[in-house]
């Protein structure tokens, strides 16, 4: 029960709770979802927003406000790992070391993956990935993904050419989960997918991930603080959102509306 004064982390959307997708537990696929910051719905960068009680998850005191806010990107990583069925011994390739790639890396490691290789072209982000549990990193501007033979790809780059290369790097019978923005067209060799019996799937937001994300973060197995590279007040929202474009060491900005 959420009462006045309870610290909560919110799921930033309002599904209708009644359609077949919602009733099946896949409320992320609800056709009537109103999701913050998805036009025409305004974002949640405001002092007050309205959320359904079920989407206001109480957080333990061990999770400060930064970490509570970062349960949202962590949820993207949890959902990707679930879709990819990461488990003990998995050989995972995380393509893209942005905020989502970095949480996916940590979730895969926490789920028992034997190998979590992170690929990017940003040396700083690869360093962070190594600190956060990557077993190896690959700067794809310098070297190839040959020989890794991952059985799971968590594609977090959103870059069409990089996505194609990472799918080609999968071992036979491998699975690719498209997590990054899927707005671009991507030409894939269906013969190559077929010969290797590659499974290709995608994620859209998340469903039922907050309890898992809270548990992982509270257990200390996920380091969310490492992602925070700047704090901003509500008036400096634009600077917060554009920080990664200006500074290649910027990962995630936290906006504190009260400051």
| Other C-beta atoms lying within 10 Å of the C-beta of residue 58 | 13
Using the rule CB under 5 A, give the single segment among 9-17, 42-50, 91-99, 164-172 that binds Zn ion: 9-17
Q: Which stretch binds Zn ion (CB under 5 A): 4-12, 30-38, 174-182, 207-215?
A: 30-38
- Three-class SS state of 10: strand
Tell me the C-alpha distance between 196 and 174, whole Å.
8
Q: Is 16 in the site for Zn ion (CB under 5 A)?
A: yes
Tokens found for residue 84: 């990819």
Is-cis flag, bond preceding 46, omega within 30?
no
Residue that has been written with the tokens 């197995």 in this structure: 221
Question: What is the signed CA dihedral for 120, 222, 231, 182, rounded to 10 degrees?
Answer: 40
**Would you call 18 exposed, middle or buried from its count of C-beta atoms within 10 A (0-12, 13-18, 19+)?**
exposed
Question: ∠168-159-232 over CA atoms, to 5°?
Answer: 140
Select from 2-10, 12-20, 100-108, 212-220 the region that touches Zn ion (CB under 5 A).
12-20
Residue nearest to Zn ion (CB): 30
Mark the segment that binds Zn ion (CB under 5 A) among 14-22, 189-197, 202-210, 219-227.
14-22
Which residue, 25 or 58, has its beta carbon nearer to Zn ion? 25
The DSSP result for 128-197, as a single string, is HHHHTT-SEEEETTTS--TT---SEEEE-S--HHHHHHHHHTSPTT-EEEE-S---S-----HHHHHHTT
Pick the closer one to Zn ion by CB: 7 or 26: 26
* Beta carbon nearer to Zn ion, 13 or 15: 15
Q: Residue 211 region, left (φ>0) first, then alpha (ψ -120 to 50), else beta?
A: alpha
From 7, 8, 19, 110, residue interacting with Zn ion (rule: CB under 5 A)? 19
Nearer to Zn ion, 23 or 49 (CB): 23
Q: How far is the CB of 29 from Zn ion (least distance, A)?
A: 8
The interface region with Zn ion, picked from 28-36, 155-163, 165-173, 200-208 by CB under 5 A, is 28-36
Tokens of 139: 């700067």
Nearer to Zn ion, 19 or 110 (CB): 19
Q: Taking CB under 5 A as the rule, does residue 34 contact Zn ion? A: no
In the complex, least distance from residue 208 CB atom to Zn ion, rounded to whole angstroms: 14
Q: Confirm or reject binding of residue 65 to Zn ion (CB under 5 A).
A: no
Site for Zn ion (CB under 5 A): which residue of 9, 10, 28, 30? 30
Shortest distance, CB of residue 56 to Zn ion, whole angstroms? 19
> Given candidates 9, 10, 14, 15, which one binds Zn ion under the rule CB under 5 A?
15
Judge whether 168 and 174 are in contact, CB under 8 Å: no
Q: Which of 22, 117, 148, 222 binds Zn ion (CB under 5 A)?
A: 22
The site for Zn ion, by CB under 5 A, has a size of 5
Residues that bind Zn ion (CB under 5 A): 15-16, 19, 22, 30
């Amino acid at each position: 029960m959420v009462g006045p004064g309870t610290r909560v982390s919110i799921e930033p959307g309002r599904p209708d709770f009644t359609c077949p997708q919602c009733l099946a537990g896949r409320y992320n696929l609800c056709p009537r979802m109103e999701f913050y910051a998805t036009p025409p719905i305004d974002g949640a960068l405001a002092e007050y927003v309205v959320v359904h009680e079920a989407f206001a998850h109480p957080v333990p005191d061990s999770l400060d406000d930064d970490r509570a806010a970062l349960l949202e990107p962590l949820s993207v990583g949890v959902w990707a790992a679930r879709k990819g069925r990461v488990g003990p011994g998995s050989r995972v390739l995380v393509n893209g070391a942005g905020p989502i790639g970095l949480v996916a890396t940590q979730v895969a490691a926490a789920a028992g993956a034997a190998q979590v290789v992170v690929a990017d072209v940003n040396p700083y982000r690869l360093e962070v990935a190594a600190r956060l549990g990557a077993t190896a990193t690959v700067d794809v501007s310098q070297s190839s993904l040959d020989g890794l033979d991952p059985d799971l790809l968590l594609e977090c780059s959103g870059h069409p050419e990089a996505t194609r290369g990472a799918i080609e790097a999968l071992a036979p019978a491998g699975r690719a989960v498209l997590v990054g923005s899927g707005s671009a067209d991507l030409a894939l060799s269906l013969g190559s997918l077929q010969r290797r019996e590659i499974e290709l799937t995608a994620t859209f937001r998340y469903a039922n991930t907050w309890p898992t994300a809270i548990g992982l973060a509270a257990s200390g197995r996920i380091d969310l603080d490492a992602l925070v590279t700047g704090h901003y007040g509500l008036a400096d929202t634009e600077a917060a959102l554009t920080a990664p474009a200006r500074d290649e060491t910027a990962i995630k900005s936290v906006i504190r509306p009260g400051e």
